[in-house]
Structure 1
Amino acid sequence: MPEIWAGLDIGKKHHHAVVIDADGKRLLSRRVLNDETELLQLIADVLEISGDVLWAVDINTGIAALATGLLLNHGQPVAYLTGRTIHQASTTYRGEGKTDARDAFIIADQARIRRDVSMLRPGDDIALDLRLLTARRLDVVHDRTRQINRLRAQLLKFFPALERALDLTKKGPVVLLTAYQAPAAIRRMGVRRLETWLRNRKVSGAGALAARAVEAAQAQMTALRGEELGAELVGRLARSVAAHNDEVTELDARIEARFRQHRDAEIILTLPGMGPTTGAEFIAATGGDLTAFTTPDRLAGFAGLAPVPWDSGKVSGNLRRPRRYHRGLQRALYLSTQVSVFFCPVSKAYYDRKRKEGKGHKQAVIALARRRVNVLWAMIRDQTPFQAAPALARAA
């Protein structure tokens, strides 16, 4: 058990540190700049009080990166308590005021009295790189979706027939809209010339796409007011979507290359439904080392796949979805499970059984994902690739 506890209330420009002893007495309270020099001085001052210290933070990414990185690099144990935990605990302390010093004290005191805190781990370099790359990819995908929605809305204002005819989630229609947006311009090109133009830009299905575009243009002979400016804006949005597509392609290549350097990559990829992207998200979320979870049950709980009891008095047997879990890990496991239903006979049989039991699609996928956590855990623990059940394999 540590001799002292140091709570850090993380901020953008400044952090507030409070150090307490076993009796909860404040030994130090200081506001420090989010700067390497001041943080190193804080660490040195705290270690002068006692070398046996447990640090605690309520944020473990983003603005806390420098502080937690310095602590871990200096071999200091760092506990993480979620913001929700600290907020709920604050109601049990005297007073209704809120200050950085009070929050830092609550963080330190909760680290002192709780026995279920999670400890931060440095993680390996590959897991850190994958965390950055997958986070960036998700941001770009979200930005692309927003741009596609804006593109649809803008196109509907002057050329609704073309908006109905095109699937803007695919490359070809986006390439078409970078140069041709108005009905008159598409009619002037004609099917053959437009098809040639698309083929020169390596668009698959150029003939069918050109035919749909010209058909839509012939269905609208009226030029609406604002069409010229609207076409310009559509072209600008289409080029933005194309740039996002290019960046996603580049990120996918980098993610796969870095993911395959991980020691467990080839084993993870043998699990049906797991690809380089979902595998990379799994490594990024778990830090690349499952020993911190001790059991597959804890890993499933961390991913939000294990229901929690919701009983009171005579009401028992109720289960509900947990509120605290890693969204990224759940996303990777859920998406890979959905894919496995189409390609893996074992997964398909389990999914069908759950549907026959009366469960909905989402419930059945979550139940299957929970089962696959056990399988993936055993694969990584034993360094053994996935193998289908013998009976089902013979039946297939």
Structure 2
Amino acid sequence: MITNHADIDVFIGIDVGKHNHHAVALDRDGKQLLSKVLPQNETKLRALLGRLAKHGTLLVVVDQPATIGALPVAVAYLPGLAMRRIADLHPGEAKTDARDAAIIADAARTMPQTLRGIRVADENVAELSMLCGYDDDLAKQATATSNRIRGLLTQIHPGLETVIGPHLDHPAILALLAKYPTPKALKRAGKRRVETLLRKQAPRAWKRWAAAIFTALEGQTVVVSGTDAAGLVLPQLATSLAQTRTSRDDVLARIEELVEAHPLFGLLTSMPAVGVRTAARILTEVVGKDFESAGHLASYAGLAPVTWRSGTSIRGDHSSRRGNKILKRALFLSAFAALKDPLSRAYYDKKRAEHKKHNQALIALARRRCNVLYAMLRDGAYFHASEEATAA
């Protein structure tokens, strides 16, 4: 929210585009001073603002704070949901850059409470945000590749998939698939060569895995159509999955460095089941933003229940489908991992005793932990469970 709204003379709304932007400038009376397409160039943007400065104090508002909003030319942004609701109040149904820019400028002029200030993030948090996004992409890629490998193995040899599929996260199994991708190749290599390959990277499990693999191979004598094609695809998929997992390890190492260097590292990780990845997501999605209460933080994370009531036929509370999905996922997974903690487990069991389903109980636990997180960040206090609460 802009507190010195009365001092603003010109309101400039910029609809951010991939190649070009559109700017609309209004004075305090709503008179249009400018409507122009702008290039993706900070120098030219500043030149435009210099020409408009003759009319008085300027307020530049954008609709995407993560792109051009990060430049010093912009000081506020209008959230997308608020913009869409405000757009419904304006006549016409057209969707153009000029109309959107005019709506942004008019909202800045008449409804300053809808605006949000832009804060320049520190370098560490900005780097964390980029690395966490890349880590999420790698995780999706690894899951898709792993599922593809298991699908192909199921098609050509279900018994072999039962043995190999659950261990695709281990480099020894991926090296085995890269070298001997088909049942025929495994049989031709022989048990001794397979054991030698597995022994190098899986010193504890190699003997058990090798025995299970050759037991599965003996259980199927039929060669399924498409096995030769699978023999061409599987080595490439195994190599790709191994590279993806190596990339994730490299990214995680850098994320750990950045998180451990942050002043809030000790505070965040003092909470049970908050590891490096969860702490990184809290730093990128929560720290630096203002929340009036724990309820506001829970609503932002999509953990606050939504009440549905209409007459006598519709009644009840449901989980929200809105909010920051990245933060919601991180807090939900953290709550699941926290079931090993006695206090969290007791709260989860309490919700289950109230006839809540598993996911409902986990969301309730994540909401409870969200309250604790808010208090920790607000007071700068480390997590501490009293002896009485732990005993209970």
TM-score strictly above 0.5: yes
Aligned-pair CA distance for 1:265: 0.6
2:144 matched residue in structure 1? 146
Once the two structures are superposed, residues 112-168 of structure 1 have per-residue CA deviations (whole angstroms, 9 ceiling, x without a partner) of 333233322212222111111110000000011111222223333333332222215
Task: Judge conservation of contact 1:184–1:217 (CA < 8 Å) in 2.
Answer: no
- Within 5 Å, give how 1:1-396 maps onto structure 2: 1=5, 2-53=8-59, 55-61=60-66, 65=67, 67-71=68-72, 74=73, 76-82=74-80, 84-114=81-111, 115-166=113-164, 167-171=166-170, 172-202=172-202, 204-286=204-286, 288-289=287-288, 292-311=290-309, 318-342=316-340, 344-395=341-392
Once the two structures are superposed, residues 83-108 of structure 1 have per-residue CA deviations (whole angstroms, 9 ceiling, x without a partner) of x4333433332222222101111122
Aligned-pair CA distance for 1:302: 1.0
Q: Secondary structure at the match of 1:260?
A: helix
Aligned-pair CA distance for 1:311: 4.7
Residue identity matched to 2:13 = G
Distance 1:215 1:367, change over 3 A: same
**Structure 2 unaligned runs (5+)?**
none
Task: Judge conservation of contact 1:56–1:81 (CA < 8 Å) in 2.
Answer: no
Q: What TM-score do the two structures reach when normalised by structure 1?
A: 0.89
Distance 1:41 1:159, change over 3 A: farther
**Structure 1 unaligned runs (5+)?**
none
Aligned-pair CA distance for 1:333: 1.1
- How far, CA to CA, are the matches of 2:226 and 2:344 in structure 1? 53
- How far, CA to CA, are the matches of 1:22 and 1:187 in structure 2? 81
Distance 1:104 1:320, change over 3 A: farther
Residue identity matched to 2:145 = Q
Task: Judge conservation of contact 1:183–1:218 (CA < 8 Å) in 2.
Answer: no
Aligned-pair CA distance for 1:246: 0.7
Q: What TM-score do the two structures reach when normalised by structure 2?
A: 0.90
Q: Secondary structure at the match of 1:157?
A: helix
Instruction: Count the aligned residue pairs.
Output: 383
Distance 1:43 1:174, change over 3 A: farther
- How far, CA to CA, are the matches of 2:234 and 2:203 in structure 1? 19
Task: Judge conservation of contact 1:273–1:340 (CA < 8 Å) in 2.
Answer: yes
Task: Judge conservation of contact 2:69–2:77 (CA < 8 Å) in 1.
Answer: no
Aligned-pair CA distance for 1:11: 1.1
- How far, CA to CA, are the matches of 2:312 and 2:151 in structure 1? 53
Residue identity matched to 2:194 = L
- How far, CA to CA, are the matches of 2:307 and 2:114 in structure 1? 18
- How far, CA to CA, are the matches of 2:89 and 2:194 in structure 1? 70
Task: Judge conservation of contact 1:7–1:105 (CA < 8 Å) in 2.
Answer: yes
Residue identity matched to 2:25 = V
Supply the RMSD in Å over aligned alpha carbons: 2.3
Give me the identity figure in percent: 34
